[in-house]
């Protein structure tokens, strides 16, 4: 992107979330299995008209932000914010200016996780004829002044609720921030651009864009998200042969045993079944398709890499893993003593609480190949909440 070119999205995520009262800043709280900030970053990063995404964070939040955005971008563009929203935006605009500026910027609150692409399209189209554009919604409720008792009704015909993202030509918003006197506060950028004498137009907002401010807003956001996702179930099954003197890996845990499983990778039969279950719920093929046994790079590979791949596929689709259940079928070794360690390991790999992971085992009453200790089989089932499409 050369100087003054392109479109940059700035997500302000440097607040402390005091009114939410969660103990962690609300932008890092999980919402539908992913940090609040990650929802809008994913939409902005995927939008074809947006060239770069910058996230403005609070002091010492680099690792938290990187973890929150890991499934979207390996190396996010993080800029340190300030003590108020206005100062955070100013820091972002100055940092962008140092890197060559942009033609257009979109400035968005991390606390508004649900961002319809249509809103972005409308805002950018409006910038063709205005210096700024903001999404806003008319007010449906009756408005009343209140002192100690009910006062006058406020006519609402010309009143709108203002949301973000707000779109501006970069030069106009940067100049407006620079011209603003430090003592004054502003709750959004449009009022500053307007104050600088520019034309700011209104495009249709969206109820989904409402900001998460109080704890009750979170409950409503979870419900909104649930309404857009369907539970999907996938199953997986795998078998590997037992051979003497090999290490035995099950659910990512090495088990001391006279025999181990043979296969192209480390032959962790339980993880393989689980990977197929997750891929099945996503309808994205199977483990052999993504990691062909004919490919030498997977020889001896640790199977946790396959599980991390499936986890990341789910996250990239905006899906949440609601629950997984693995059954190991073998005569020996005894799985019971290791089941809790296995659960913890799988939960860790999937970045889920252990309460969403089940590991159990059964024998086949000495019948069949498992009963004769020739091999170990595993079955898995995974339930995912997948965006409805
Ligand atoms: N914000 C910011 N820098 C600040 C203050 C706020 O980047 N110094 C961001 C927030 O992270 C949020 C957005 O501006 O995404 C809107 O602010 P608000 O909803 O007020 O969030 P908080 O300031 O975190 O919440 P509170 O006011 O309740 O503490
Ligand atoms: Mg605030």
pLDDT tens for the 389 residues of the chain, in order:
557 899 999 999 999 999 999 889 999 999 988 899 999 999 999 999 999 999 999 999 999 999 999 888 989 999 999 999 999 999 999 999 999 999 999 999 999 999 999 999 999 999 999 999 999 999 999 999 998 999 999 999 999 999 999 999 999 999 999 999 988 889 999 999 999 999 999 999 999 999 999 999 999 999 988 888 999 999 999 999 999 999 999 999 999 999 999 998 999 999 999 999 999 999 999 999 999 988 899 888 999 999 999 998 998 888 999 999 999 999 999 999 999 999 999 999 998 999 999 999 999 999 999 999 999 999 999 999 998 87
CA of 99 to the centre of ligand 2 (A): 27
CB-based pocket (< 6 A), ligand 1: 12-20, 25, 27, 56, 81-85, 88, 109-111, 211, 213
pLDDT value for 182: 85
Question: What local confidence, expressed as pLDDT, does residue 1 receive?
Answer: 55
Enter the pTM of the model. Answer: 0.79
Ligand closest to Cα of 84 equals 1
CATH code of domain 230-387: 3.30.1330.50
pLDDT at res. 72: 86
Beta strand residue intervals within 115-273, DSSP E: 132-138, 143-146, 150-154, 160-162, 166-169, 200-204, 229-244, 248-250, 253-255, 259-262
Q: Is 2.70.98.40 the CATH number for 7-227?
A: no
Q: Which of 36, 41, 85, 165, when mutated, tests ligand 1's pocket best, judged by the most ligand atoms within 8 Å of its CB?
A: 85
Q: How far is the CA of 14 from the centre of ligand 1 (A)?
A: 6
Q: How are beta strands 34-35 and 52-57 bridged, if at all? A: unpaired
pLDDT of 139 reads 95
Structure tokens at 167: 């779109």
Distance 253 CA to ligand 1 centre (A): 42
Question: For residue 270, which of 381, 384, 383 has the smallest C-alpha distance?
Answer: 381
Atom nearest to 37 CA in ligand 1 = 15
Ligand 1 pocket mutation pick from 111, 162, 214 by most atoms within 8 angstroms of CB? 111
Q: Name which residue sits closest to atom 8 of ligand 1, judged by CA.
A: 84
Domain with CATH 3.90.550.10 in the chain: 7-227
Rounded distance, CA 270 to CA 173, Å? 55
Cis peptide before 165 (omega within 30 of 0): yes
CA–CA separation, 378 and 112 (whole Å):
42
State how far Cα 247 lies from the chain centre: 36
What's residue 289's pLDDT? 96
Every domain of the chain with CATH number 3.30.1330.50 lies at 230-387
pLDDT given for residue 282 in this prediction: 97
Contact 117, 43 (CB under 8 A): yes
Report the C-alpha gap between 356 and 371 in whole angstroms.
30
């Amino acid at each position: 992107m050369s100087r003054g070119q392109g479109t940059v999205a700035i997500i302000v995520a440097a607040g402390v979330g005091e009114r939410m009262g969660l103990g962690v800043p609300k932008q890092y709280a999980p919402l539908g299995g992913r940090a609040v900030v990650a929802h809008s970053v994913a939409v902005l990063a995927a939008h074809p008209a947006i060239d770069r995404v910058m996230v403005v964070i609070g002091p010492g939040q680099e690792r938290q932000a990187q973890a929150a955005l890991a499934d979207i971008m390996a190396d996010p563009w993080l800029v340190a914010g300030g003590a108020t929203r206005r100062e955070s935006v100013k820091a972002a605009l100055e940092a962008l200016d140092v890197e060559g500026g942009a033609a257009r910027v979109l400035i968005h609150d991390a606390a508004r996780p649900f961002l319809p692409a249509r809103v972005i399209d409308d805002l950018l189209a409006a910038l063709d004829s205005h210096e700024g554009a903001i999404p806003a919604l008319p007010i449906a409720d009756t408005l009343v002044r209140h002192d100690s008792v009910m006062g006058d009704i406020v006519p609402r015909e010309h009143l709108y609720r203002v949301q973000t993202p707000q779109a501006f030509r970069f030069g106009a918003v940067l100049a407006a921030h620079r011209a603003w006197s430090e003592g004054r506060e502003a709750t959004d950028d449009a009022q500053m651009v307007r104050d600088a004498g520019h034309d700011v137009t209104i495009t249709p907002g969206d109820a989904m864009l409402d900001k998460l401010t109080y704890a009750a807003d979170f409950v409503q956001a979870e419900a909104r998200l649930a309404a857009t996702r369907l539970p999907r179930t996938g199953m997986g099954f795998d078998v590997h042969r037992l051979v003497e003197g090999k290490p035995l890996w099950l659910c990512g845990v090495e088990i001391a045993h006279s025999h181990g499983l043979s296969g192209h990778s480390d032959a962790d039969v339980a993880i393989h079944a689980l990977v197929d279950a997750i891929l099945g719920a996503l309808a994205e093929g199977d483990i052999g398709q993504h990691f062909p046994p004919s490919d030498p790079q997977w020889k001896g590979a640790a199977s946790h890499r396959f599980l991390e791949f499936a986890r990341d596929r789910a996250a990239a689709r905006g899906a949440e893993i609601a629950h997984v259940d693995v059954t190991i079928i073998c005569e020996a070794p005894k799985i019971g003593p290791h089941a809790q360690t296995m659960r913890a390991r799988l939960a860790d790999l999937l970045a889920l609480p252990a309460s969403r992971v089940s590991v159990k085992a059964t024998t086949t009453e000495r019948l069949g190949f498992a009963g004769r200790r020739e091999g170990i089989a595993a079955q898995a089932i995974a339930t995912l909440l997948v965006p409805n499409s």
